[in-house]
Structure 1
Amino acid sequence: MKKFEEKTLKSETIFEGKIVKLQVDDVRLPNGKTSKRELIKHPGAVAIIPITKDNKIIFVEQYRKPLEKSIIEIPAGKLEPGEDPERTAIRELEEETGYTTSKLTKVASFYTSPGFADELMHIYITSDLEKLEQPPAQDEDEFVELIELSLDEAKRFVEAERIHDAKTNFAVLYLETQELL
């Protein structure tokens, strides 16, 4: 057994939906005792930092039901089964913004909430945007509004908590530290 490994003794699926699966595992802890773990299984997701020719970042504003409010985020979406993250990034960029790109650069991947979920988020950046003449339709239950902000404006939105999610905060910090804008 690895130093901190928890051995699964039993696993029970409680719920399986369109996006997540909730399971409860009985585990043996490194000290020999047992405990329960509530886990969310997620297919993974991507997010894109789209930069316009005039050095603005394209964000989307959308209502987030778990928060009961709208927030401003970089475009993002979940991976479909077997879909390459880069392909997902382009699909989500097109659906949410009406832009496409032929050049994506991977910035990072990270687990969003490893204490209870296995969602792996892949972040890409592009400054090679092309407006689509016929953008694909958004998901029927998705309502977004595009917002273009300079890096300084985005930082002010972070301070005001209008940008208030981890992936978008990461994107703003990344742009600031890389001095790309």
Structure 2
Amino acid sequence: MNFRKALLEHRGSTVFETKSGSLFIEESEVASVAVVVLHEGNLTLVRQYRHQMDQQTIELPGGGLEHGEQPENGAKRELDEETGITVDRLTYLGPYHPQPYFTNRLSHLFFTNSIKSSGNQKLNDDEEIEVIQMPLNDVLKSIQDGKIQDGELGYALFLCQLNGYI
């Protein structure tokens, strides 16, 4: 039985409408990565403009995996591109479905406190990303106060706490 109708296809993504009128996106390349970087009590975060919300957001560094790329390699690449940080090792925190009611996207979350070096960002032409360092307690307070509203960041920090990394 078909409960959905394709409305738009673009670069491996399809927007569907259900019988009740809800929309959802099915992506052929479903994985992305994000990294919790803790160094000397500070978290490395990125501030960037999100067109969908018409505002700046504060998030973990990360992004989409390239075709066939392993999550750990993608996490290291995205961290280097967005922040200029290279790391010795990453610890896998687990998978995360950011919006299972809206998309099939899966994010792989990682933790590191082993910064090897810091350099320059290697951004795409359409990216404007500011790297910020925030004390962990300030980030937690900002989440509590609703100033930071990124669910992926909150969930990743929760996993870090459950695993004893913070």
Letter in 2 for 1:116: F
Letter in 2 for 1:155: L
**1:87, CA displacement in angstroms?**
1.0
**1:37, CA displacement in angstroms?**
6.5
Letter in 2 for 1:46: V
Report the equivalent of 2:129.
144
Does the alignment pair 1:49 with 2:36?
yes
Q: How does 1:21-170 map to 2 (within 5 A)?
A: 21-24=14-17, 38-42=23-27, 43-52=30-39, 54-133=40-119, 135=120, 137-170=122-155
CA distance in 1, matches of 2:139, 2:36: 12
**1:118, CA displacement in angstroms?**
0.4
Quickly say closer, same or farther: Cα 1:10–1:179, change in 2 above 3 A. closer
Q: Which runs of 5+ in 2 are unaligned?
A: none
Q: Which runs of 5+ in 1 are unaligned?
A: 1-7, 27-34
Q: Count matched residues.
A: 164
Quickly say closer, same or farther: Cα 1:44–1:67, change in 2 above 3 A. same
CA contact (8 A) 1:44 1:120 kept: yes
**1:142, CA displacement in angstroms?**
0.8
Report the secondary structure of 2:137's partner residue: helix
Measured on the aligned residues, the alpha-carbon RMSD in Å equals: 2.3
Structure-1-length-normalised TM-score: 0.78
CA distance in 2, matches of 1:10, 1:159: 38
Q: How does 1:11-30 map to 2 (within 5 A)?
A: 13-18=6-11, 20-24=13-17
Quickly say closer, same or farther: Cα 1:155–1:132, change in 2 above 3 A. closer
Percent of pairs identical after alignment? 26
**1:154, CA displacement in angstroms?**
0.4
**1:112, CA displacement in angstroms?**
1.3
Structure-2-length-normalised TM-score: 0.85
Larger Rg: 1
Higher normalized contact order (CA 8 Å, seq sep 6+, divided by chain length): 2
Report the equivalent of 1:4.
none
> Relative to structure 2, which stretch is displaced further, 84-93 or 160-169?
160-169
**1:162, CA displacement in angstroms?**
3.1
Quickly say closer, same or farther: Cα 1:18–1:142, change in 2 above 3 A. farther
